[in-house]
Amino acid sequence: MLRKTFMAAAIVACTAAPLLAAGDVDPQADFKAFRKYFTERFPKVPLNDFVNGPYSMDEGLRKQWKAIDEFPPYEFAVEQGKQMFATPFKNGKSYADCFPNKGIGIRQMYPMFDTKTGKVVTLELAVNQCREANGEKPFDMAKDDMAAITAYMAFTSRGKPFDIKIPDDPRALAAYKKGEEYFYSRRGQLNFSCASCHVQNPGNHIRTEVLAPALGITAALPIYRSAWGGMGTTTRRFQTCNAQVRGEPLPAGDEDYSAVEYFLSYMSNGLPISGPGARP
Amino acid sequence: MIEFPDAPAVARRAVLKGAVAGGLAGLGLGAFPFPAFADADAKEWPGDAFKVKSEADALKALYGKSAEASDKVSLDAPEIAENGAVVPIAVASTLPNVTGIAILVLENPNVLAAAYKIPAGTQASVANRLKMAKTTKVVAVVESGGKLYSATKEVKVTVGGCGG
Amino acid sequence: MAGTIRVRATASGDATEVQSLIRHPMDSGFVKDAKGELIPAHHIEVVQFEHGGKTVFTALWGPAVSKDPYLKFSFKGGKAGDELKVSWVDNKGASDSLVTKIQ
Amino acid sequence: MRKTMVLAAALSLVAVTTAAFAASADDAKAALAKAEAAMKQAHALKNEWTTTAAEFKKAKAAADAGKFDDAVKLAGEAEALANASVAQAKEQEKLWPEAVVR
């Protein structure tokens, strides 16, 4: 019965609180509050170190990460991505023709809101859109080819600060709001939201793993996880997070995934790209 | 193109791209006047040492003797492994003329994880990444002047994530 | 497909530090695949490093060495420009080798 | 959340025991259909649970094997899980703004 009373109280609280119509969200205000929350809660963590996820939270793990990152296993993916980037499509064109600055050093601008289609375009969607525009089959967004090419593109952007833009377009604001809603909504039988772990519990353990802070959490993607024994794209990471809380993962390319990445990367504006990353 | 009957495609290309000389030597035609860049030879692999279940048996199979603890062997291992599949382990020693290093993971199905031959002129230190099935003692053994010295540390290993 | 071996060899003073990363599954033979069948053991057995016609390091590996195995050691007598040869062979007889220049 | 799920599961169990001794093929089919309807709703809200599909699979297997009592029980559990995930989605649609870091 607790659940019923809690919900009733919540509804009352909602209406009594300053009327926050569900429609309006204020990205700039959210950004300031989000940044303030993490910097005040973890005063000893330098701002740019948040992009190192669990390693900004735990000395023991950081030491192991440093040992692995000295010659990390994602080097093969970066090498493969570099070769894929240089190999022209059957029609002679290549990825360089699809992306600003020939695709080099631009990962920090994605996800990008496309005012023509009114949709959020993540780096992974952009790669597939480029392939399809040139008559090639799109990659499976959770598999190694996509991980290799995005690993190379991330590698060429290392150190560049996130620069995610929300244009003055109601559809962009709606996408941002959708991402924020996804991030804060509880799901799965374990009834957790992304925030339950990455806002309320960064630095705490879920068995051996240490939870990463949400601030800067997309900067290291794609990642080579020892647990997977291989590379993982942003899509694969979101899907496994869903499954961990016993929520059914969404299909690759789902707009909710693009929206939550849009929200998260916007929250990390100014923080440097650290991908591809090595993680437990 | 020289057809290397047994080497898989990868090896052929690497051989062609890299060291044709080395590749030819690799064919076991040692008599060639090239510098003896012999390839890694599977016969060097101490198969039985990798099948035994106890530290004593592994050291007997590898070196024919047992080890005594020594603070001259330094074993760098994490207290809690980030992930049992990739545990960074480093071994070093200040003992004189070291000829071999071995690393054993006592709770693994087979105790011996890796062994290294250290010729003269090579420093007595090695870093590698090992797999550990569960929380286990890790023993680093150094062969110096025909005797074995060891250091032991425990590494906690569990899985991560929400689980279930 | 690029080669399976990546090496960084840097000489400083009389010591040359060597790091290597080899692309290999290093299957232990104890892991089951999605269908529940055991994946057979498939791991590198011997890795050999040679400089100036002499073996400077030999690794003897079992199935407990991690996937895409990494190695670091250092030896005396190498200098920038020298050649260093790396070669490996696994329990299925597959092999690869690479000659690289010390930086 | 745990409360509504237990409540729903308990309700469906009560319904089963008062029915005829052995559930028939039709009872099983009906229970499966109810579960499937609830699962469709959860799917529409993009908020399915992995455990729902697992229970439903067991229910179908029991029905195919002619174990209709089991099938009805398991289908009831799948339905309860699906309903709980629907309730979760609807509840969160209202509650998420409160969790936002302000």
Q: What domains lie within chain B, and their CATH numbers?
A: 9-39 (no CATH), 46-155 (2.60.40.2470)
Q: What is the CATH number for C66?
A: 2.60.40.10
Is B14's CB within 8 Å of C97's CB? yes
Which subunits sit against B, judged by 3+ Cβ pairs under 8 A? A, C
In the numeric block, which tokens belong to residue A170? 């109601």
Domain residue limits at D79: 2-99
Q: Note whether B89 and B77 are within 8 A (CB).
A: yes
Query: In whole angstroms, what is the distance from residue C65 CA to residue A140 CA?
Result: 30
| Residue D50 reports pLDDT greater than 80 | yes
From chain C, pick out residues whose CB is under 8 angstroms from the CB of B13. Answer: 3
Cis peptide before A170 (omega within 30 of 0): no
Residue of C72, C91, C96 lying closest to B126 (CB–CB): C72
Interface of D with A in 62-91 (CB under 8 A): 81, 84-85, 88-89, 91
Q: Is A186 on the interface with D (CB under 8 A)?
A: yes
Say what percent of chain D tops pLDDT 90: 76
**Predicted pLDDT of residue A16:** 43
Give the pairing type, strands A277-279 and A223-225: parallel
Query: In whole angstroms, what is the distance from residue A202 CA to residue A220 CA?
Result: 16
Which residues on neighbouring strands pair with residue A133, listed in sequence order?
none
**Predicted pLDDT of residue D93:** 96
Which residue does chain B place closest to C1, by CA atoms?
B10
Write out pLDDT tens, residues B127-154.
999 999 999 999 999 999 999 999 999 9
**Predicted pLDDT of residue B49:** 96
Report which of B41, B8, B40, B36 is spatially closest to residue B24, judged by C-alpha positions: B36
**Predicted pLDDT of residue B38:** 72
Distances (CA, A) of A7 to A2, A27, B161, C32: 9, 27, 30, 46
Is B83's CB within 8 Å of A227's CB? yes
Residue of A68, A192, A208 lying closest to B88 (CB–CB): A68
Query: In whole angstroms, what is the distance from residue C101 CA to residue C51 CA?
Result: 10
Distances (CA, A) of B90 to A67, B116, C92: 10, 12, 28
**Predicted pLDDT of residue D78:** 97
Give the minimum alpha-carbon distance from A156 to chain C in angstroms, rounded to a whole number: 19
Say what percent of chain B tops pLDDT 70: 77
Is D101's CB within 8 Å of A3's CB? no
pLDDT band of residue D10 (cuts 50, 70, 90) is: low
Give the minimum alpha-carbon distance from B75 to chain A in angstroms, rounded to a whole number: 14
Q: Note whether B141 and B112 are within 8 A (CB).
A: no
Q: C32: which residues sit within 8 A by CB, 6+ positions away?
A: C38, C39
Query: In whole angstroms, what is the distance from residue B26 CA to residue D97 CA?
Result: 68
Q: Is C5 on the interface with B (CB under 8 A)?
A: yes
pLDDT band of residue B39 (cuts 50, 70, 90) is: confident
Cis peptide before A167 (omega within 30 of 0): no
What is the total count of domains within chain C? 1
What is the distance of C-alpha B61 from the center of its chain? 15
Give the minimum alpha-carbon distance from A54 to chain C in angstroms, rounded to a whole number: 22
pTM here is 0.84
Is B160's CB within 8 Å of A208's CB? yes
Write out pLDDT tens, residues A137-165.
999 999 999 999 999 999 999 999 999 99
Q: Where are the alpha helices (DSSP H) in B40-160?
A: 55-63
**Predicted pLDDT of residue B164:** 63
| Active-site residue, A98 included | no
Is A227's CB within 8 Å of B163's CB? no
Tell me what the pLDDT averaged over chain C comes to: 95
What is the total count of domains within chain D? 1
**Predicted pLDDT of residue B119:** 97
Q: Half-sphere exposure (CA, 13 Å, Cβ side) for C4?
A: 26
Tell me what the pLDDT averaged over chain B comes to: 83
Query: In whole angstroms, what is the distance from residue A139 CA to residue A131 CA?
Result: 8
Q: Is C56 on the interface with B (CB under 8 A)?
A: yes
Domain residue limits at C25: 5-101
Please give the domain boundaries of chain A with CATH numbers for all domains.
26-280 (1.10.760.10)
**Predicted pLDDT of residue A6:** 55
Q: Note whether C41 and C91 are within 8 A (CB).
A: yes
Which listed residue (A98, A130, A197, A241) is catalytic? A241
| Residue B7 reports pLDDT greater than 50 | no
**Predicted pLDDT of residue D9:** 64
The yes-or-no reply on D/C contact (3 CB pairs or more, < 8 Å) is no
Number of other residues whose CB lies within 10 A of the CB of residue A142: 21
Query: In whole angstroms, what is the distance from residue B13 CA to residue A268 CA?
Result: 44
CB burial class (10 A; 0-12, 13-18, 19+) of residue A47?
middle
Residue of B78, B90, B163 lying closest to A207 (CB–CB): B163
CB pairs under 8 A between A and C: 28
Query: In whole angstroms, what is the distance from residue D31 CA to residue D11 CA?
Result: 13
From chain A, pick out residues whose CB is under 8 angstroms from the CB of C67. Answer: 73, 229
Q: What is the pLDDT along chain A (280 residues), one digit of tens a residue?
A: 455 555 555 554 444 444 444 457 999 999 999 999 999 999 999 999 999 999 999 999 999 999 999 999 999 999 999 999 999 999 999 999 999 999 999 999 999 999 999 999 999 999 999 999 999 999 999 999 999 999 999 999 999 999 999 999 999 999 999 999 999 999 999 999 999 999 999 999 998 889 999 999 999 999 999 989 899 999 999 999 999 999 999 999 999 999 999 999 999 999 999 999 999 9
Instruction: Give which of B39, B87, B111 to mutate to test C binding, by max C Cβ within 10 Å.
Output: B39
If you average pLDDT over residues D59-78, what whole number do you get? 96
